[in-house]
Amino acid sequence: MARYLSIVDSAYRATIEEQDDTAVWFTHAMKNAGADVSILLRGDAVNYAVSNQDAKGLRFGNRAVKGPDMVRDINAVIAKKIPLFVVSDDVAERGIPASLLLPGIEQIPRSAIAKLIDNHDTILTW
Amino acid sequence: MATITIGILDPPYESANTPTAFRLVEAAIRMGHNVNVFCYEGATALGYAGQKQHPNAVHGASLEEEDHPNPKDWVKALLAFAAEKNVKLVWCNCGLCVDERGVESQVEGVCRGSPGDAWKYSEGSDGVLLIGTE
Amino acid sequence: MMTIRTEREGVNVSQYVMIQSKSPWESGDVGHFYALARELRQLGAEVTFFLVQNGVMAARSSAKDPALEQLLGANVRVLADDFSLRERAIDAKVLKTGVNPSSIDVVVDLLASGAKALWH
């Protein structure tokens, strides 16, 4: 069985669709089906690792939109024991304090991405 | 003969990724390989049977002259090409993405699946390429 | 599908095909992708870097893209999609030294031989 690494760098693009990030959701669904998966958040997607994200309150006419809950979904990924990595250089460049990151996420420097990729059999570049 | 799986996310017209994806599928068939295409998000509209051509007044072109591209015709053509080359082309849509978009009416030969199916296609492949989107 | 590695001088070698679809002027992230190619090469992998769509804009010899110049010096095979070049009127004669025009069939060949594929 191959080891998959989902690399997510586009953020808040399609979080309306599954009321989640579509790449995170898909990878979680692969895990549910039995796949061996990991997730790397890089670029703006490192912001998914931040606590207190709140996308509630959208309403169009009398139709409320439940919206995504990325904190719930990232915590669910961690609870499912899907290894979740975030690029520390990208976190720092965006001025995100380490204290705001959700627990259970492993920070890796940008220089370690090549090795992480090399340690997986199939790369999914979202 | 190898088996390649290609994942596509982009909807029919909004990205140059779409013709590139089709070029890769065409090349793989032409070179004698089996191909699995898994469409996710807006790419599930690629095979939507309700796509229509239109004339182009800016070009001064009639419907026939403009011959507006409808990707559903490319999907049909590639399915026929694969049959002619005696290789297997699986064109599979993420079913939930189809439902959300109301694009259930698809050209013949397009099937429906889940992320679990995409995983199985990948496991049975020599190479896997996911064409990510913006 | 497990990683297929090729044998080179008795050493298992990973193969990568990295496909760059964006120009460095439309995406600020392209430099990181070039750098990743160099780093994978440094790990001993065989890396083919395939410029396609607007990714070929950086391939003109007169284009100012120091990060691509760095990649060209890193023993990575850099190819430019022939259709994308023609679409943008970039003649093969004006490509940077080290960038070669190529059919997209090369990508298929690499996938068919088990190369790990990354798209950007």
The predicted pLDDT at position C1 comes to: 52
**A2, A114, A121 member nearest C36 (Cβ):** A114
pTM for this structure?
0.93
For A82-126, how does the pLDDT look when each residue is reduced to its tens digit (9 = 90+)? 999 999 999 999 999 999 999 999 999 999 999 999 999 999 999
Contacts of B101 (CB under 8 A, 6+ apart): B42, B44, B45
| Cα–Cα distance for residue pair B82/B104, rounded to 1 Å | 23
- Which residues span the domain enclosing A76? 3-125
* CATH number of the domain residue A107 falls in: 3.40.1260.10
Q: Under a CB-based contact definition with an 8 Å cutoff, are residues C97 and C72 in contact?
A: yes
Residue B59 belongs to some domain of the structure = no
Whole-number average pLDDT of chain A: 94
Res. B108: pLDDT tops 60: yes
Query: H or E element: which one contains A60?
Result: strand A59-60
Q: Which residues of chain C have pLDDT under 70?
A: 1-12
The confidence band for A26, taking pLDDT boundaries of 50, 70 and 90, is: very high
- Which residues span the domain enclosing B76? 3-11+16-47+71-131
| Cα–Cα distance for residue pair C94/B123, rounded to 1 Å | 42
ipTM higher than threshold 0.90: yes
All residues of chain B having their beta carbon less than 8 Å from the beta carbon of residue A124 are 7, 128, 130
Query: Cβ of A126 and B97 within 8 Å?
Result: no
For B56-104, how does the pLDDT look when each residue is reduced to its tens digit (9 = 90+)? 999 999 999 999 999 999 999 999 999 999 999 999 999 999 999 999 9
Residue B104 belongs to some domain of the structure = yes
Total beta-carbon pairs less than 8 A apart between chain B and chain C: 65
The predicted pLDDT at position C10 comes to: 53
**A2, A17, A34 member nearest B41 (Cβ):** A17
**C40, C119, C120 member nearest A118 (Cβ):** C40
Q: How many domains would you assign to chain A?
A: 1
Residue of B nearest to A2 (CA): B123
Phi-psi region of A105 (alpha: psi -120 to 50; beta: other; left: phi over 0): beta
| Cα–Cα distance for residue pair C79/C37, rounded to 1 Å | 13
- C13-119 carries CATH number 3.40.1260.10: yes
Residue B51's CB is within 10 A of a number of other CB atoms, namely 18
Query: Cβ of C119 and A117 within 8 Å?
Result: no
Q: How many domains would you assign to chain B?
A: 1
The predicted pLDDT at position C13 comes to: 79
* CATH number of the domain residue B117 falls in: 3.40.1260.10
